[in-house]
Amino acid sequence: MSKIRPIGDRLLIKQHSAEQTYTNTNIYIPESNQTKEDRGTIVGIGDEVTGVFEGEVVLFNQFVQPVKVSHMDEDHLLLRQQDVWAVVDNE
């Protein structure tokens, strides 16, 4: 099993899933139709990244078409640091 190590100003992020699986009227929404959240946990950092650390939860711009990769048998995103908007504290 290979490990992905981002380079430059890139971050490897495990995107969080939407928590709500039912609508307000109790209609089930399958996971394939749920929208992903614009937050995730940093699991890898490139050598030019500053100000964020592995394990931190961040908000990011999901409309920049991040690169989707499989890492440790799970789906992850590769983003540039400039596409991260904020660090979420107390999560």
Tell me the per-residue pLDDT of 36-87, one tens digit each, with 9 for 90 and over.
678 999 999 999 999 999 999 999 987 888 888 888 888 899 999 999 999 9
Stated pTM of the model: 0.77
User: What pLDDT is recorded for position 9?
Assistant: 95
H/E segment holding residue 45: strand 39-45
71: enclosing H helix or E strand:
strand 67-71
Q: Which two tokens stand for residue 45?
A: 């950092």
Give yes or no for a contact between 74 and 17, defined as CB atoms under 8 angstroms apart: no
Between CA 27 and CA 37, with CA 31 as vertex, the angle to 5 degrees is 105
> Tens digits of per-residue pLDDT, 4-14?
899 999 999 99
pLDDT band at 19; cut points 50, 70, 90 = low
